[in-house]
Amino acid sequence: MRLSMSEYPTPSSLLKKYDVPTPRYTSYPTVPCWDTESFSKKEWVTSVRKVFDETNTEKGISLYIHLPFCESLCTYCACTTRITKNHNVEIPYIQAILKEWEMYKKIFGKAPIVRELHLGGGTPTFFSARNLRWLISYLLEGVLIHEDAEFSFEGHPNNTSLDHLQTLRSLGFRRVSFGVQDLDLKVQQTIHRIQPFENLQKVTRDARETGFESISFDLIYGLPFQNPATISDTINKVLTLKPDRISFYSYAHVPWLRPGQRGYGDADLPTDIQKRSLYETGREKLEAADYKELGMDHFALQQDSLYKAHVRGALHRNFMGYTTTNTDLLIGLGASAISDAKYAYAQNVKRVEDYLEAIKDTSAIVKGHLLTEEDLLLKGSILEISCKDSLSPELMNKVVDPTMLGMLAEMEEEGILRLNEGGGLKVTPAGRPFIRNICSVFDKRMRGQVSNDTPLFSKAI
Ligand SMILES: C[S@@+](CC[C@H](N)C(=O)[O-])C[C@H]1O[C@@H](n2cnc3c(N)ncnc32)[C@H](O)[C@@H]1O
Ligand code: SF4
């Protein structure tokens, strides 16, 4: 039986100590720490081909499509978006995505087996259902679909129509995640995202009736003007809809990167201690309603495949977040999209116009990183900690150095983790708020780069 958080009170001194800029570790090395100088597109193509040949048998590949457009800006948002009400942007953008995919298909040299397909954004449902049908049908031409394929998309509850749901369901999509964030009116007004609960009720009902098997909600704690009462109210409402999964994200406050976040002041935001208690309020309510906590900031019902993967030790994490599909090749298409070819990462240019221009004659990649042997071991270690709350002796003994051991020993004294005899570690229940910090011990690439000027990451708590 898991004890409730109140039985593991988190000392405020630890919250203060560890509430420092820290990555979310959807990759290692994280993008700001990539060695872009050593990267070349030629090496990138070699890595893609190598991993494709190694894994395009049983495992298959993952495909992420970045659809950046939104009609209006939610000021809290840290995603890479383009705000416009002009829907003429849809067709040229789809054409560019299809062209980029053709380039990859040429590199593969034979039909890819698609295990995972995710439409992210921005707002995929900015696009008309008709245009999404066109995009997906062409993307899947000449492609084999894995027998356990998972197709999913991010839907905005305000503009996901029945037509979107029916179209995507008929194309094989079975999972959808809806951006909920918070249901309190004052919070919504502050973040410029007015989203009545009725919209969420309707879209959730429509998704179920259309045959979507897994519905996930994104919630955020740490937004301006949230307090335990508003969080409780939001979660009570959410629980009436029983989503299969809930991502309960820590608000990433990065106003130097997202000026929209300057629309409210620091005084409107909860302090680090208040923010953590918002999470605990939410967590207690979710656990009381039979949701299980897994990884960082995620919850799922026991019958959901994400939870089952967690129990089997098969949870995986990539640029899309937690997933059950442990593929080694993730191709990201679209402006700002990131690809992971196991031995190398690559990112496309961020501005939509630059992406459209680049794709006319070549790839849109602007930077990347080639992983060294050590990077691969550190990547494996960080992945294991963030997916399993532990690290095996085999892996730890290969990567640990005296600096890391010193940091880990300090964390053990603080009750955050337990070091096993002979190597390996286990995150304690009291250490769960600090998983990002524990991962950062293994982030050798970040060590040399910490500066006090402009932080590279949002704070850990
Ligand atoms: C691309 S958006 C979701 C789809 C759709 N555009 C919508 O808003 O409903 C992806 C998710 O990222 C999360 N997110 C965006 N900005 C964030 C921030 N500053 N801190 C934490 N999570 C954030 C939100 O939970 C959001 O639902
Ligand atoms: S939260 Fe969603 S709709 Fe709002 S700006 Fe970000 S991506 Fe667009």
Which residue's CA lies nearest to atom 6 of ligand 2? 77
CA of 312 to the centre of ligand 1 (A): 28
Pocket test for ligand 2, best of 69, 71, 73, 177 (most atoms within 8 A of CB): 73
Q: pTM for the full model?
A: 0.93
Q: On the CB side of 299, how many CA atoms lie within 13 Å of its CA?
A: 26
pLDDT in tens, 421-444: 888 999 999 999 899 999 999 999
pLDDT in tens, 187-210: 999 999 999 999 999 999 999 999
* Residue 149 φ/ψ, nearest 5 degrees: -65, 145
Number of H helices, E strands in the chain: 16, 19
Pocket test for ligand 2, best of 67, 69, 70 (most atoms within 8 A of CB): 70
Ligand number nearest to the C-alpha of 249: 1
pLDDT exceeds 60 at position 98: yes
pLDDT exceeds 90 at position 60: yes
pLDDT exceeds 70 at position 452: no
Q: What confidence tier does 451 reach under pLDDT thresholds 50, 70, 90?
A: low
pLDDT in tens, 115-143: 999 999 999 999 999 999 999 999 999 99
78 lines ligand 1 (CB under 6 A): yes
Q: What was the pLDDT predicted at 4?
A: 44
Specify the 3-state DSSP secondary structure of 381. helix
Question: With left for phi above 0 and alpha for psi between -120 and 50, is residue 10 left, alpha or beta?
Answer: beta
Residue 203, Cβ density class (10 Å: 0-12 exposed, 13-18 middle, ≥19 buried) = buried
Nearest alpha-carbon partner for 121 in 152, 75, 87:
152
Q: What confidence tier does 19 reach under pLDDT thresholds 50, 70, 90?
A: confident
* Joined tokens for residue 89: 């942007």
pLDDT in tens, 151-175: 999 999 999 999 999 999 999 999 9
Q: Which helix (H) or strand (E) holds 181?
A: strand 175-181
Q: What was the pLDDT predicted at 461?
A: 74
Q: What was the pLDDT predicted at 1?
A: 38
